[in-house]
Amino acid sequence: MGRWMKPEVYPLVGAMAFVTSMCIFQFTRNVFLNPAVRINKSDRSQAVLENYKEGEKYAEHGLRKFLRTRPPEVMPAINHFFSEDK
C-alpha cells in the first residue's frame, strides 16, 4: 500500500472490503435470482407474476435448509459446559 496509509488502518480497510463484497453479493443475488425483480420487458409488462415455484426456490435456499436441522446454538460446547450441573 505504501507509506501514505498507516498500518493501524489495515483492519478497517479489510472490514470495509468484506462488507462491500457482502453487499455486492447480495445485490447480484437479488438481481439475478429474486422472482420479484423484473429485468425483461415482457416480465415488467405483466402486473402480477404467477411464479410460486420460483419464489419458493428463492426463499428456501440450501443454507436455510441446512440450518433448519441444526440446534439454535452458536457455541454448543461452551453452552453445555456452563449449563450442566456438577
User: Residue ranges of the domains in the chain?
Assistant: 8-38+48-83
Residue 11 above 90 pLDDT? yes
The reported pTM is 0.56
**DSSP classification of residue 70:** S
C-alpha pair distances (Å), 35 with each of 21, 69, 78 = 22, 26, 41
pLDDT band at 56 (very low <50, low <70, confident <90, very high): confident
3-state secondary structure of 67: helix
Q: Give, in degrees to the nearest 5, the angle at Cα 18 between 13 and 23.
A: 125
